C-alpha cells in the first residue's frame, strides 16, 4: 500500500523540477544590417539560478568582431510561481557582406540553435548622409499599399556626441492608425567615415482610407555634451535638434470585385485545424471531438481578422469555447492570430463529415488573390457503448428461437432481459452525463455574460454619447469605431457595419451607414448625411424574427463553405 502511494506521488514530486527546467535561446536584435554596423546577439537562459560560466565565443571570430558583452538578470513572481531570466548580450560587427551564420553555442551545458544574419554592402549615399554630430533618417516600406495594409515605418537617430536627454516625436498622420513595434534598437554604424551611435524606432502604419498620404518630418529635441568644452565638466549642455525627412505613400482601395468577404491584405496568411481524429480512431455517439482552428496573418492585427466558426455539421452539435486572440511582431511586421476551440459531439452513428472551409485574402507581396483552405474531413461514428450492446441482442434472440426444444433454451431466454436492462442503464447514465455537461456549460456561459442591467445601460449611454460626438466631426475611422461599439452594446452578435445595416429597419439609417462605409473604406465622398441627426433617437431595429428583405447580406460565416 505504501509503495503504491509513493508511486502516485512521484509525478507531483518531480513536477517542480520539470516546471523550472532551465532553457536557453539565442536571438538577434536585427536580421539585416549594413557592413560597418553592429548587431547584438542575445543569449537568454530561463530559470537558471547558478553562476553563469563564460561561454566560448571563439566560433564567432571568423565572421565577426566581438566588441563586448553585458549581462542582465530579471526576476518575477506571478501567482506564487517564481521565474527568472538571465540575458547575455554580445555586441558583434560583421567582417564581410553576405549571409553569415551564427553557429550553435554552448551555454551552461545547453546548446542554442544556429542563426543567420544578412549583411548588405554599405549605402553608397552614406557619405552624403552624415550631416554633423546629430542627424536622422526615415524609411517607409512599401511605397504603395492598400487600405488596411500595414506599412513598416523606421526612424533612425544618428549621434556622434554624448546626449544627456531628448525626445523623439511620434508620427501623427490623418487617416492612418499608428502603433509602435517592439523596443528601441541601439547599435553603432559608420557614416561618411565617422562612427555614430544609432537609436532605431519602428512603427506600424495602417491606412484607413484610399488616397495620397503624407508622412510629415519627424523631429528630435535633446541636449548634448561636448567633451572639448570645458564648461561640460560643470554640467553645461548645448541644445541640439534634428529632423527626419518626410515621405509619401499612395493608398489604393480594395478591388471593386472583391465582394462582401472580409478584406484581408496580408503578407502571409495561414488557416489550420487540429484535433480531428484519424480514420483508425474509434469515435462513438456522445464522445466529444476537441477541435482547434487557428488563423495567423502577417501584416494584419488580430482585430482585422474575422471571427472563427464551424459550419453546421449534420449529425453533430458544435459547442464553441472562448476565443484566444493577440498581435505579436517580428520586429517589422505585425502578426495577428485568432484561435478558437470547438467541442463537436456526434449525435448519431454513421459517417460524420466536416465540410471544407475556405478564406479569401489578398497577398500584398504578389498582388494576387489567394485562398486559405481547410479540406473536408470525415470519420465513422460508432454507436454509444450501451447502444452497441443492446443492438447486438436481437440476433442472439433470433438464433435461440430454432433451438427452443433443446435444454439450454431456458437459460438463454433468462439471460436476455439481464443484458437488455444493462444496455438501458448504460444509455440512461450517458444521457444523464450529457445533460449534466450541457447544464454546466449553460450556467458557465450565463455566469460569464451576466452584467447588471444598470451598469449595461450606463455603458450604452456613454457609447451613444461618444458616437454622437464623433459624428459631429470629420474622422470617418472614429465614426466607424464608435458606431460599432454602441451597436454591439445593444446587439453583441454584430460583427461589422454590414451586419448593423441589415439589422436596422430605418431606411435613413441604412443609407447613412452605406455612405459612411464609402467614405471610410473607399475614400468616396458619398452623401451628406447628418449622422448625429439620423441616430439621435437611437437605433431602429427590425422586429424580432423579421426577414431582411432582398438585401445582399454578408454570409453567416466568414468563410466560403463547400
pLDDT in tens, 132-153: 889 999 999 998 999 999 999 9
pLDDT in tens, 247-301: 999 999 999 999 888 999 999 999 999 999 987 888 999 899 999 999 999 999 9
Do residues 271 and 293 lie in contact, with contact meaning Cβ atoms separated by under 8 Å?
A: yes
d(CA 198, CA 37): 9
The verdict on 111 and 139 lying in the same domain is no
- The residue among 328, 338, 332 whose CA lies nearest residue 359 is 338
Write the CB contacts of 518 (distance below 8 Å, at least 6 apart in sequence): 524, 526, 527
Residues 213 and 290 in one domain: no
**376: confidence class by pLDDT, cuts 50, 70, 90:** very high
If asked whether residues 487 and 527 sit together in one domain, one would say yes
Return the higher-pLDDT residue of 378 and 413: 378
Burial profile 345-365: b = 16 or more Cβ within 10 angstroms, e = fewer: bbeebeebebbebbbbbbebe
Same domain, 82 and 152: no
Q: Among 120, 154, 186, identify where a domain stops.
A: 120
Same domain, 165 and 147: yes
116 and 226: one domain?
no
87 within domain boundaries:
yes
User: 75 lies in a domain?
Assistant: yes
* Same domain assignment for residues 170 and 75: no
CATH number at residue 81: 2.60.40
Q: Do both 108 and 139 map to the same domain?
A: no
Domain co-membership, 172 together with 224: yes
Residues 89 and 54 in one domain: yes
Residue 224 — very low, low, confident or very high, per pLDDT cuts 50/70/90? confident
Distances (CA, A) of 153 to 80, 125, 156: 41, 20, 10
Residue 496 lies in a domain: yes
Based on the structure, what is the number of domains in the chain? 4
Model-level pTM?
Answer: 0.55
pLDDT for 83 equals 76
Shared domain check, 299 and 240: no
- From 365, 386, 407, the end of a domain falls on 386
Q: Which of 56, 91, 120 is the last residue of a domain?
A: 120
Any domain includes 472: yes
Where do we find the cell 491584405?
A: 265
- The cell numbers describing 218, all together, are 519627424
Position 370 pLDDT exceeds 90:
yes
CA-CA-CA-CA torsion for 249, 255, 258, 263, nearest 10 degrees? 0
What SS3 class is residue 275?
coil
| Residues 6+ away with beta carbon under 8 Å from 22 | 45, 46, 47, 48, 108, 110
State pLDDT tens for residues 415-462: 445 556 666 777 878 788 788 778 877 776 665 554 445 445 667 888
Dmax (CA) for the chain in angstroms is: 124
- 257 assigned to some structural domain: no
Does residue 449 lie in a domain region? no
Q: What is the DSSP letter of 541?
A: B
Residues counted in the chain: 562
pLDDT top residue among 72 and 324: 324
Work out whether strand 350-354 and strand 176-191 pair parallel, antiparallel, or are unpaired: unpaired
pLDDT at residue number 231:
53
Domain that holds residue 487: 455-561
For cell 500500500, the residue is 1
Write the CA distances from 314 to 345, 355, 557, integer angstroms: 11, 10, 16
Q: Which of 70-79, 327-336, 514-523 has the highest mean pLDDT?
A: 327-336
Answer yes or no: is pLDDT of 393 > 60. Answer: no
Residue 326: count of CB within 10 angstroms of its CB:
11
The reply to whether 470 falls in a domain is yes
On whether both 148 and 111 belong to a single domain, the answer is no
Amino acid at each position: 500500500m505504501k509503495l503504491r502511494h509513493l508511486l502516485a506521488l512521484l509525478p507531483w514530486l518531480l513536477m517542480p523540477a520539470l516546471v523550472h527546467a532551465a532553457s536557453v535561446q539565442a536571438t538577434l536584435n536585427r536580421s539585416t544590417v549594413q557592413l560597418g554596423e553592429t548587431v547584438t546577439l542575445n543569449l537568454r537562459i530561463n530559470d537558471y539560478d547558478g553562476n553563469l560560466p563564460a561561454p566560448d565565443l571563439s566560433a564567432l571570430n571568423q565572421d565577426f568582431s566581438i566588441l563586448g558583452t553585458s549581462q542582465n538578470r530579471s526576476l518575477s513572481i506571478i501567482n506564487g510561481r517564481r521565474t527568472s531570466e538571465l540575458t547575455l548580450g554580445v555586441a558583434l560587427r560583421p567582417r564581410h557582406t553576405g549571409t553569415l551564420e551564427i553557429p550553435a553555442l554552448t551555454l551552461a551545458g545547453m546548446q542554442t540553435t544556429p542563426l543567420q544574419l544578412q549583411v548588405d554592402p554599405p549605402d553608397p549615399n552614406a557619405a552624403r548622409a552624415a550631416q554633423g554630430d546629430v542627424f536622422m533618417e526615415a524609411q517607409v516600406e512599401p511605397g504603395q499599399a492598400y487600405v488596411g495594409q500595414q506599412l513598416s515605418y523606421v526612424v533612425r537617430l544618428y549621434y556622434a556626441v554624448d546626449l544627456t536627454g531628448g525626445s523623439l516625436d511620434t508620427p501623427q498622420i490623418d487617416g492612418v492608425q499608428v502603433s509602435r513595434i517592439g523596443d528601441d534598437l541601439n547599435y553603432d554604424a559608420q557614416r561618411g567615415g565617422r562612427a555614430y551611435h544609432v537609436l532605431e524606432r519602428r512603427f506600424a502604419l495602417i491606412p484607413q482610407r484610399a488616397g495620397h498620404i503624407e508622412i510629415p518630418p519627424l523631429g528630435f529635441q535633446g541636449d548634448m555634451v561636448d567633451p572639448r568644452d570645458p564648461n561640460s565638466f560643470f554640467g553645461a549642455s548645448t541644445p541640439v535638434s534634428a529632423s527626419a525627412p518626410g515621405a509619401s505613400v499612395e493608398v489604393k482601395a480594395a478591388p471593386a470585385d472583391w465582394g462582401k468577404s472580409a478584406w484581408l491584405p496580408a503578407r502571409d496568411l495561414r488557416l489550420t485545424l487540429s484535433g480531428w481524429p484519424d480514420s483508425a480512431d474509434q469515435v462513438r455517439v456522445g464522445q466529444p471531438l476537441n477541435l482547434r482552428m487557428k488563423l495567423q496573418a502577417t501584416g494584419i492585427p488580430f482585430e482585422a481578422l474575422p471571427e472563427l466558426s464551424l459550419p453546421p455539421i449534420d449529425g453533430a452539435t458544435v459547442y464553441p469555447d472562448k476565443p484566444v486572440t493577440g498581435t505579436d511582431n517580428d520586429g517589422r511586421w505585425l502578426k495577428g492570430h485568432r484561435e478558437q476551440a470547438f467541442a463537436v459531439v456526434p449525435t448519431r452513428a454513421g459517417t460524420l463529415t466536416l465540410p471544407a472551409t475556405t478564406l479569401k485574402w489578398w497577398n500584398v507581396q504578389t498582388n494576387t488573390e489567394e485562398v486559405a483552405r481547410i479540406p473536408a474531413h470525415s470519420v465513422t461514428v460508432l454507436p454509444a457503448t450501451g447502444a452497441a450492446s443492446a443492438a447486438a441482442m436481437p440476433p442472439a434472440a433470433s438464433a435461440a428461437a430454432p433451438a427452443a426444444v433443446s435444454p439450454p433454451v431456458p437459460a438463454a431466454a433468462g439471460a436476455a432481459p439481464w443484458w437488455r436492462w444493462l444496455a438501458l442503464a448504460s444509455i440512461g447514465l450517458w444521457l444523464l452525463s450529457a445533460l449534466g455537461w450541457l447544464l454546466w456549460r449553460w450556467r458557465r456561459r450565463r455566469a460569464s455574460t451576466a452584467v447588471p442591467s444598470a451598469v449595461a445601460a450606463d455603458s450604452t449611454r456613454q457609447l451613444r454619447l461618444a458616437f454622437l460626438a464623433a459624428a459631429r466631426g470629420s474622422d470617418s475611422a472614429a465614426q466607424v469605431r464608435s458606431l460599432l461599439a454602441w451597436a454591439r452594446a445593444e446587439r453583441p452578435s454584430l460583427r461589422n457595419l454590414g451586419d448593423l445595416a441589415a439589422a436596422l429597419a430605418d431606411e435613413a439609417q441604412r443609407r447613412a451607414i452605406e455612405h459612411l462605409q464609402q467614405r471610410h473604406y473607399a475614400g468616396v465622398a458619398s452623401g451628406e448625411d447628418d449622422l448625429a441627426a439620423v441616430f439621435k433617437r437611437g437605433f431602429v431595429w427590425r422586429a424580432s424574427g423579421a426577414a431582411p428583405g432582398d438585401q445582399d447580406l454578408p454570409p453567416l460565416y466568414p468563410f466560403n463553405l463547400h
